[in-house]
Chains A and B, each alone.
Chain A
């Protein structure tokens, strides 16, 4: 529904009515068909083959938080895309990484970004980090019907809390249930392996550089054991997406920076294919 297609061309009354600062609420009232969770689905028997995004990992360090994702999308046992991006900036101080149905996930991220931006523009101040995390909960919850039909979307939300001056990580389940993770988190098909890796390598006093290496190690381990997670593709120069959020805001590592981390890990793994070893006791 377009604002200026009305006969007079003026803004419709709903646009000028004071009320909610939420773009999702406005969209729900003005153009409900554009809301991702608002489409009726026909009942389907069995699994539908749709591209799925896989592993996302996050870890915090004293000055911020890192969020990273592999680049593979799978459709059944076919690799649907080798260079998909599953980690996005949500706003200046937060990022979201999404596993699950790729098409829906990308649409949801687009709406989530707009939701945060819209609030900030209307109110003149950004939402608190908790407020942002709760809005994402609402979005995931509205997708529950689709999730139960196999079109689940599960995010990790990470950001710099400007009030508390620290990086924070939130993980979600398909019902929109939200829990704050302390230290590190992983979601997606490779998350079991990634979490094992994070658990052994994580330390609370990591530097930013060590934290970025840590998440790439975890993705490497996930790709090692999970067929749906893509490892770094040195031949095609497809590396994981690694993002860092500090008090200076969101930053995505350049291809050159990722390449450096990946190559360092790769070189070490030529000698030790299972990666760094943790102490036995």
Chain B
């Protein structure tokens, strides 16, 4: 039972990985292939900040999120925006190139050594609920994930900014006819996705190891969470992430090395049975 509950906890983290991708893919109709590398880069920034200031990684996380917001804003404005409107391939190629550049920059700056973020006593703390011993850090990950999903859903669902980005996603040209500065809106949205990824990176670094080459695997989990949930659905990314986490946990019960394999198999089965993802079930009802 504890293994499955831990699957839910790790799934919440996958959901957070996926949220940034869900926003770029579903709302901005862009694919950022460097998404996983930005998560790892954020983890390194958190590590450096934590070591430099001598404080807990969680204290540095808000600052890293702000830094990554600016990085996302500038990246969209100066690089990705220039590739839009020229077909689907240019943004894919540019972000693929960015992924390689980022991996090499991280290798140069931080070496290939495996690192992690030291959670301190938080890492070992646990609480007893209904006879089950649950880690405080995984529980915190779940709570933070729900809070971020709720906030994102509220911002994109019922604010002026949210309406503007959904309208821009439907039609860039018509959105401009409404007075929406679409390139600015997309830049803010990309900033938000990287800020969310930075928060995910903090919890990732405190719960596992990372090195410059682990980005693509984060990207894969993020992609699977989004597809499992349903492209374009914010809460779908969380549902998809949790299903992926649960599948991996169930697989590891059979054999500890089967976790990722079972996760990928469940992804394939759901993709075949429900191409629209889990949220398509809700829409059918």
Q: Do A and B come from one complex?
A: no
Chain B interface residues (CB < 8 Å from chain A):
none
Chain A interface residues (CB < 8 Å from chain B):
none
